[in-house]
Structure 1
Amino acid sequence: MKSNIPIPGSIREKILNQAIKEFGMHGYEGVNVQQLAKSIGVTTGALYHHFGNKIELYKVVREEIERRITSRMEGAAEVHDDSLTSLKSAMLVGFNAAVKLNACKLLSEPDYSSNRDLVAILFNEILGDNLVEGVEVILSSVWRASLKNITQGMSPEDAKKALNWFSEKMI
């Protein structure tokens, strides 16, 4: 695969930036490649030249958004001494980042391009020795469900309250 870091001002960067917005708002199924290309002012051929196909473009977008968010989550987790407080902090900071980046739809849908869950991997790292096998996947699912609540009409404030309630009661 070609490098994921586009040259500033390049067609690849324009495609990637617009794709992040579109997949973030509409999810995989809601993005039409022809309309995406038209909104950028390029042909679908140019889009396919840089990314191969829709699923490859989605894969780059999904990984980029998850990396941006998990990076913030890591930073939030590192300021605490115990793993459970780190986990709670990471969940809430990640939630805030997903809302701010308008990525709730993208991050709450199944990942059509990979079987790696970067959020679950991070939760696994945060919990370390306190990890019960499989709990990181459950926690990632709860975190993603809180984002899905927003896509289904719940206010971000109420979705965050629900996630916070879960983290206080269950973690």
Structure 2
Amino acid sequence: MKNSAAQPANSRQRILEVSTRLFAKHGFDGVSMRNIATESDITLPAIYHHFGNKEELFKAVETEMYSSHAKSLMDQLQADLSPEERLHNFVYVMFEHLESNPDYLKLLQRNLVDGWEENQAFLVDLSLQPVMDELKVLLNEYAEGTGNGITPITIFSLILGYITLMPVIRHLKERPASANTDQAMRELLVQSVMNFVSANRPTQEPR
């Protein structure tokens, strides 16, 4: 009984794992339910039973990937630390997650450029907007309540830009000698973002 009860859950997880890899590699339009059935070795009827249709399966993939990441980012933003420490940890965790989860990064990049507005709205509501809102609060606190300084979208753009260019950065002659490991490179990029934010931090006008 224990094995039979666990089998549907195992099948569902297997479908999600295979779908994540295929959608990240080929995009939504480049993957069929039959492709997923073949790669997962699970029948088409079973896949439809779990997810209904390809759109629902795609949303299930996104929900599993983005929700956990959003939670880890929110944990950093809401920690009982100074604004600078929270911002540093947020940037570090985002870099770490994007770098260590290539399928997540590919899927995110596809969602940003594929032009499927309904799905982009789903992504924003699911994870991006709550994180952006909380980051805005932190950045305002970091800017000492002035409402000036760096915007959340600037932080996201910097991090995504660095991560997207990472394969090229590793081969650049200008790469600092100290960044001789992935960990060192990540620390360097985090510090670069923090330096940028600090440089754009509003200064108190003399009274």
Q: TM-score, normalised by structure 1?
A: 0.71
**Which residue of structure 1 aligns with residue 107 of structure 2?**
106
CA shift at 1:159, angstroms?
Answer: 7.7
What amino acid sits opposite 2:74 in the alignment? E
What amino acid sits opposite 2:165 in the alignment? N
Q: CA 1:91–1:135 in structure 2 vs 1: closer, same or farther (change >3 Å)?
A: same
What amino acid sits opposite 1:170 in the alignment? V
CA shift at 1:79, angstroms?
Answer: 4.7
Q: Deviation digits for residues 37-84 of structure 1, max 9, x if unmatched?
A: 1011123343233223323212111121111112222233315221x5
For the Cα contact (< 8 Å) 2:95–2:163, is it kept in 1? yes
Q: CA 1:88–1:123 in structure 2 vs 1: closer, same or farther (change >3 Å)?
A: farther
**Which residue of structure 1 aligns with residue 203 of structure 2?**
none
For the Cα contact (< 8 Å) 2:136–2:151, is it kept in 1? no
**Distance in 1, Cα, partners of 2:20 & 2:105:** 12
The answer to whether residue 19 in structure 2 is matched with residue 9 in structure 1 is: no
2:155 to 105, 130, 139: 139
The answer to whether residue 77 in structure 2 is matched with residue 80 in structure 1 is: no
Larger Rg: 2
Q: CA 1:56–1:142 in structure 2 vs 1: closer, same or farther (change >3 Å)?
A: farther
1:126 to 135, 138, 144: 135
SS at match of 2:111: coil
**Distance in 2, Cα, partners of 1:14 & 1:64:** 13
CA shift at 1:15, angstroms?
Answer: 0.8
For the Cα contact (< 8 Å) 1:12–1:50, is it kept in 2? yes
CA shift at 1:99, angstroms?
Answer: 2.6
For the Cα contact (< 8 Å) 2:155–2:193, is it kept in 1? no
**Which residue of structure 2 aligns with residue 48 of structure 1?**
48
**Distance in 2, Cα, partners of 1:26 & 1:53:** 18
**Distance in 2, Cα, partners of 1:62 & 1:106:** 8
SS at match of 2:28: coil
Q: CA 1:164–1:55 in structure 2 vs 1: closer, same or farther (change >3 Å)?
A: farther
Structure 1, unmatched stretches of 5+, are 1-6
What amino acid sits opposite 1:58 in the alignment? F
What amino acid sits opposite 1:122 in the alignment? V
Taking every aligned residue pair, what percent have the same amino acid on both sides? 20
**Distance in 1, Cα, partners of 2:22 & 2:169:** 21
**Distance in 2, Cα, partners of 1:165 & 1:146:** 10
Structure 2, unmatched stretches of 5+, are 141-146, 171-180, 199-207
Q: CA 1:93–1:79 in structure 2 vs 1: closer, same or farther (change >3 Å)?
A: farther
SS at match of 1:109: helix
SS at match of 1:28: coil
